Amino acid sequence: MASQHYLRSRGLSEDAARAESLLNRYPDLSEQELASLIRRFKNLPLLDFGLLAADRQLGDRLDAFYRDHGDKLRAPLSGLAWTMSFLLVLAIVLFVWGAV
């Protein structure tokens, strides 16, 4: 009989664990705690965000948090526009340089 080995994923980072504890109390947070939760969520690594999003116990609170404060969590459009413009210019320069 073959044995099976499963990789164990790492736990939440310190910031994600703190965000999780704040989310468990949402919306009953002070203004400082809410600001901390928003700041932490903006900077969460994708893996931590995925682990929190997959937690069924946080589902309703996470949905409410995004409904109430999702506009503060999105990347600003100006930054996205500058990034896309830079990539477009870089692609054009590389194309022209390669054609010469």
pLDDT digit string, tens, across residues 27-78: 999 999 999 999 998 888 878 888 888 888 988 999 999 999 988 886 555 5
Provide the Cα torsion 17, 19, 24, 26; round to 10°.
Answer: 170
Reported in sequence order, the residue ranges of the chain that DSSP labels E, i.e. its strands, are: none
The residue with greater pLDDT, 9 or 52, is 52
How confident is the model at residue 8, as a pLDDT?
Answer: 47
- Hey, how many other C-beta atoms are within 10 angstroms of the C-beta on 29? 15
pTM: 0.64
Q: What is the CB-side half-sphere exposure of residue 53 using CA atoms within 13 A?
A: 9
Would the pLDDT of 18 be above 70?
Answer: yes
